[in-house]
Every structure is written in structure tokens, then in C-alpha cells.
Amino acid sequence: MQPSLWLALAGAGVLISFTPGAGAINTMSNSLNSGFRRSIWGILGQQAALLVHILIVALGVGVLVASSPVAFNIIRYAGAAYLVYLGIRQFLQKPDLDQEKAAALRNEPALSMFRRGLWVNLLNPKAIVFFLAFMPQFLRPEQPLLPQYVILSATVVLIDILVMWLFFAAAATSFQRFTRDARGQKILNRTFGALFVGVGFLLAAIH
């Protein structure tokens, strides 16, 4: 891949990653609940989903999903329902100042955080449609495709990890002071719960 083309890819990747969405909300929620360092597990789950989306598009299955209203809507509504579920669960979560319970929450298993991040991004068919439109701009069919896909995937994933962890997860740490009292916890739970639900409804409503 030519340096100028890669720079264009990197610039597009930065803009995409900074666009607020379910992944950013999930990352900030993880950072608040489990700490900045451990939020990386949820981010890695989200990257695994991105790689699946890229693989789907590369194999041509993405064209079928994008052109099949039934398949697209099944995935879309499943993703929306999952986000709404996460939002309601967070919204209804009661404040808890018990130090032992708080420690247990902060020590959520890495696999649990990874799995949630995976499903948050995986159940978003719009990502498949996006990559269908996005990827061809940076591929040259007259050149070997495998190295191009590897460079594209590595670039997009690395940029998204850096933005999610060093921006969204880091930004969430500034809200840590709200977790020290019941009122602050309630505000944060309802705020992030409402954001999850809102993104879920947007995913279901936007065609």
C-alpha cells in the first residue's frame, strides 16, 4: 500500500473511531465500572468484532447481508435489543457503596468484558455495510489483496484501540468522583443506561 493511500486510510480510521457510538459508550462504562486498565478487555472484544466484519466483507458475504432486507433486519434488531437490554440493566442498577461489592464489580472477569464488547460491535450490520463502502476505497485490485487486507485491518484495529482506550476510557476516569456517593452513582448509571438505550433505538430506527 502506497504511503499516501495509507495516510488517507489512517485519517479515515481516526475520524471513524472518534465518532460516538455503542463501542465508545461501552468503553466508557467499562472504564467507570472496572477501571481504566481493565477496560482494555472490552475494547479487545470490540476489535474482534471489527475483524469479523472485515472478514465477512472480504469473503463477499457482506454483499448478501447488505442486499437481503430480512438478514439485515434480523441482525439489526438483535443488536438494538441487546443494547437496550444493557441500557435498562445499567439504568436500574442500584447505587452500592459496599466496598466488597464494589471490588467485585471492578473485578468483572476479563472474558465477560471481552464477550460484551464483541456482541456490542458484532450485532451491528451497519458496520458491514460501512466496510463494504469503506474498504474498496483503499484496495487496489491489480495488486495482491491479502497483504492489503492485512494492512487495512491492522491499521483500523490499532487506531480504534488507541482512540477507545486513550480517549474514551481515559475521559471516563474524570467521572470517577461521582462513584463515591449514592447520588453520583445513580446519575452515572442512568446517564449511561439512557445512552445505551438511545443508541439501541437509533440502530433500530435508522434505515
- In this prediction, residue 132 carries a pLDDT of 72
11 DSSP assignment: H
- In this prediction, residue 51 carries a pLDDT of 92
Asked if 164 contacts 46 with a C-beta cutoff of 8 angstroms, the reply is: yes
Which of 154, 179, 185 lies closest to 36 in space, CA to CA?
179
pLDDT tops 70 at residue 180: no
Q: Residues 28-39: what's their mean pLDDT? A: 88
Task: Determine the Cα–Cα distance for residues 110 and 133; give it in Å rounded to an integer.
Answer: 33
- In this prediction, residue 100 carries a pLDDT of 52
Q: Which residue has the higher pLDDT, 14 or 112?
A: 112
164 DSSP assignment: I
- In this prediction, residue 154 carries a pLDDT of 92
- In this prediction, residue 3 carries a pLDDT of 80
The C-alpha cell at 46 is 470490540
Task: Kindly report which listed range (67-76, 77-86, 147-156, 159-168) carries the lowest average pLDDT score.
Answer: 67-76
Place of cell 447488505: 66
135-139: long-range contacts (C-beta < 8 A, 24 or more apart)? 135/54, 135/57, 135/58, 137/12, 138/1, 138/5, 138/8, 138/9, 138/12
94 DSSP assignment: P
Asked if 200 contacts 84 with a C-beta cutoff of 8 angstroms, the reply is: yes
- In this prediction, residue 73 carries a pLDDT of 74
Which of 199, 196, 206, 169 lies closest to 88 in space, CA to CA?
196
- In this prediction, residue 47 carries a pLDDT of 94
- In this prediction, residue 128 carries a pLDDT of 74
The C-alpha cell at 39 is 477496560
Q: Is the pTM here over 0.85, yes or no? A: no
